[in-house]
Amino acid sequence: MEDVARVAGVSHQTVSRVLNNHPNVSSKTRERVEQAITELGYRRNTAARSLVTRRSQTIGVLGSELAQYGPSHTLLGVQQAARDAGYFVSVAGLREVTPETIKDALAHFMDQGVDGIVVTVPHPGTFEVLKDVTSQVPLVAVGSVGDEELAGATVDQRQGARLAVEHLLDLGHRRIGHLSGPSNWIDAAARIDGWRDALDAAGIEPGTLIEGDWSAECGYREGLKIAAERAVTALFVANDQMALGVLRAFHEAGVQVPGDISLVGFDDQPESAYFIPPLTTVAQDFEELGQRCIGLLLDRIESGSTGTAATVNPRLVVRSTTAPPPTK
């Protein structure tokens, strides 16, 4: 830093202000310092800095099922938000989710000296385990609604499901089935609750409920059964991958979408706009979820804030797979 200060013709403190994005530095001075940094190839000694600040500038992220769209994009959102805030990210992925594996991973992060931990493990028992662990650093659980014991950041999955079903109700559908995700997933359970909420509010008894596994193969398999039974005029599917499988099954069975059965997915994957026909779905903003999650964590790290919850609202994206029910 002293070499950078000498080349830029400024004080050591001014170099520090530039490195820490302090607002009280003129653009001309900032440019001079940044040019000196580039010229000298200067990089911060994070190990030395952590000795002074007692912070590692590292956040631990514990995840599972990272091959699935939701968990993987939640991780990407958290990583990007952490990096934007100047933090490195250390990721631990669980192959098997048990209280022991969760506790072992948290202990590993403690050994690394992380400043905070984000947990993205989408199973109900996770929150109970986290509440039972005495953590030396702030911790935020993605998917938790947050309370005094455990801070949480989440997309309102229940509201997203209500948006999907209310859209179908507004079109005139009364026989609305649901192809859900696995029952041991927090998000899947919340989407089932939202489906039931919307039907209950409309005075309609919930009908066809099928448990799926998030895969397109499952959607195809169950879609063939639904096409054969014709018990519904609309189907809310818990993710876009299963909806893709349903679309193929309906096509092979001669079921027109949306002429015979309307279809709504969940996630708004980039490919969903290019399904045939383009899929009506519920969008989750994973970038915003990451920002809200890291914002909540950093408030606790830097100021000792006791904020407990951050919620992101989903939105309905209407495309071509929904229409009024058939009149025949």
Residues in the chain: 328
Q: How far apart are CA 114 and CA 137, in angstroms?
A: 8
Q: What integer pLDDT is reported at residue 19 of this predicted model?
A: 77
Six-digit token pair at 139?
Answer: 């911790």
Amino acid at position 198, single letter: A
* 201 and 280 belong to one structural domain: yes
**Does one domain contain both 262 and 299?**
no
The answer to whether position 181 is within a domain reads: yes
Residues 66 and 146 in one domain: yes
Kindly state whether residue 328 falls inside one of the protein's structural domains. no
Same domain, 250 and 181: yes
Q: Are residues 188 and 140 in the same domain?
A: no
Determine the average pLDDT of the residues in 113-136.
Answer: 89
| DSSP secondary structure code for residue 66 in this structure | T
190 shares its domain with 146: no
pTM (2 decimals)? 0.82
According to the model, what pLDDT value does residue 23 have?
A: 66
Closest Cα to residue 243, out of 177, 194, 156?
177
Give the span between the Cα atoms of 291 and 308, in whole angstroms: 15
Average pLDDT over the chain, rounded to an integer: 91
The answer, yes or no, to whether residue 192 has pLDDT greater than 80, is yes
**Domain that residue 36 falls in:** 2-43
Partners of 88 in the β-ladder? 58
321 within a domain of the structure (yes/no): no
Q: Which positions ≥6 away from 48 have C-beta within 8 Å?
A: none
Question: pLDDT at residue 118 above 90?
Answer: yes
CA distance 176 to 260: 13
- pLDDT of 223 > 50? The answer is yes
CA 322 to the chain's CA centroid: 26
Q: How many CB atoms lie within 10 A of CB 259?
A: 11
Judged against a pLDDT cut of 50, whether residue 56 lies above it is answered with: yes
Does some domain include residue 327? Answer: no
Residue 136 has what pLDDT? 82
| 173 and 230, same domain (yes or no) | yes
195 and 82 belong to one structural domain: no
The answer to the question of residue 246 being in a domain is: yes
**pLDDT at position 230, please?**
94
pLDDT at 51: 44
Do residues 87 and 177 share a domain? no
Q: 12-19 and 27-40 are packed helices; what angle lies between their axes, rounded to 10 degrees? A: 90
Q: In this model, does residue 50 exceed pLDDT 60?
A: no
Same-domain status, 303 and 205 = no
Report the phi/psi class of residue 238: left, alpha or beta, with left for phi > 0 and alpha for psi in -120 to 50.
Answer: alpha
In this predicted structure, which of 4-13, 238-247, 313-322 has the lowest mean pLDDT? 4-13
In a domain, 318, yes or no: no
Cα dihedral 235, 238, 243, 244 in deg (nearest 10): 180
| pLDDT tens per residue, range 240-285 | 999 999 999 999 999 999 999 999 999 999 999 999 999 999 999 9
Look at residue 265 and tell me if it is in a domain.
Answer: yes
If you average pLDDT over residues 1-26, what whole number do you get?
82
Please report, as a single letter, which amino acid is at residue 173.
Answer: H
Q: Which CATH number belongs to the domain containing residue 22 in this structure?
A: 1.10.260.40
Q: Give the count of beta carbons closer than 10 Å to the beta carbon of residue 100.
A: 10
- Give the Cβ contact number of residue 210 at 10 Å: 18
pLDDT digits (tens, 9 = 90+) for 276-297: 999 999 999 999 999 999 999 9
Mean pLDDT along residues 134-141: 86
Domains contained in the chain, number: 3
Looking at residue 133, what is its pLDDT?
84
